Amino acid sequence: MLSANMNVMIKAARKAGRSLVKDFREVENLQVSVKGAGDFVSRADREAERIIKEELRGARPNYGWLGEETGEEAGEDPTRRWIVDPLDGTTNFLHGLPHWAISIALEHKGEIVAAVIFDPAKDEMFVAEKGGGAFMNDQRLRVSSRGKMIESIFATGVPFGGRGTLPATLQDLARLMPLTAGVRRWGAASLDLAYVAAGRYDGYWERGIFPWDVAAGILMVREAGGFAEGLREGDHVLESGRIVAANATIFDTFAKVIRARD
């Protein structure tokens, strides 16, 4: 049984998803135009956040808000807030690549208690509630059980556009890649975590992420039996902006390689 909050979150994600799918079809056509699709995608992104905000705040007017596009707003209830990325994987969307998602998390007293990650292009709805498990389209999710690095694949985000975390990430890749079956950079952090929860990836790490990128995914991984922690042991993921996540079997070995630099 889904909680009332979860139903509100799913409804908001589906509604924003319909708007984004319509815009995505348009973006595919815009690839050949000289001006490109940049402004159009910014508008699509903002419109998706507007729809989600209207739905969530309409249903729960006293909760706080943290959204990628509109920032932070305190609510009457200081213990609860929505953390929302209306379009995670913006660069994929802009280039007509069908790998992007809507990420919605509910935080209560500093802890994520409910999460929705919706991939409209593949019609995959990932949901999780604290203590209630994680699901994808009603199918229970479990992290993989792989324990050998050489059989495992890992996802990450490689910084783009001159972000300062590039050298550290390249060093991570140099240490990690020889030990594994491969590393993927698919361009949507929320889906990277959802895929760890689904056992598709064995682990994921990234330096320089925002709370809205990973808030929902953290709960998804934990509820599927995995770990999602700060890059430095004891760090809070949302505050530090650095994350390492994996199935429970391989987490220590994997985290040791990633943490070797810090």
User: Looking at 49, 69, 88, 202, which residue binds Ca ion (CB under 5 A)?
Assistant: 88
Q: Decide: is 89 part of the binding site for ligand IPD (CB under 6 A).
A: yes
Least distance (Å) between residue 189 CB and ligand IPD: 3
Stretch that binds Ca ion, among 15-23, 88-96, 122-130, 179-187 (CB under 5 A): 88-96
Tokens linked to 231? 């890059």
Q: Decide: is 188 part of the binding site for ligand IPD (CB under 6 A).
A: yes
Tokens linked to 155? 């996802």
Q: Decide: is 189 part of the binding site for ligand IPD (CB under 6 A).
A: yes
Q: Residue 231 has what DSSP assignment?
A: S
Q: Residue 149 has what DSSP assignment?
A: G
User: Looking at 5, 19, 90, 247, which residue binds ligand IPD (CB under 6 A)?
Assistant: 90
Q: Are 55 and 8 in contact (CB under 8 A)?
A: yes
- CB-nearer residue toward Ca ion: 162 or 234: 162
Burial environment of residue 88 by CB neighbours within 10 A (0 to 12, 13 to 18, 19 or more): buried
Q: Decide: is 47 part of the binding site for Ca ion (CB under 5 A).
A: no
Query: 235 a known binding residue?
Result: no
Q: Residue 141 has what DSSP assignment?
A: P
User: Looking at 49, 55, 69, 85, which residue binds ligand IPD (CB under 6 A)?
Assistant: 85
Q: Decide: is 187 part of the binding site for ligand IPD (CB under 6 A).
A: yes
Q: Decide: is 228 part of the binding site for ligand IPD (CB under 6 A).
A: no
Burial environment of residue 112 by CB neighbours within 10 A (0 to 12, 13 to 18, 19 or more): buried
Least distance (Å) between residue 85 CB and Ca ion: 4
Question: Strand runs (DSSP E) across 100-225, as ranges?
Answer: 101-108, 111-119, 124-129, 133-136, 139-140, 153-156, 182-184, 203-207
- CB-nearer residue toward ligand IPD: 50 or 130: 50
166, 252, 245: which is closest to 200 by C-alpha? 245
- Give the binding site for ligand IPD (CB under 6 A): 85, 88-91, 157, 187-189, 206, 209, 213
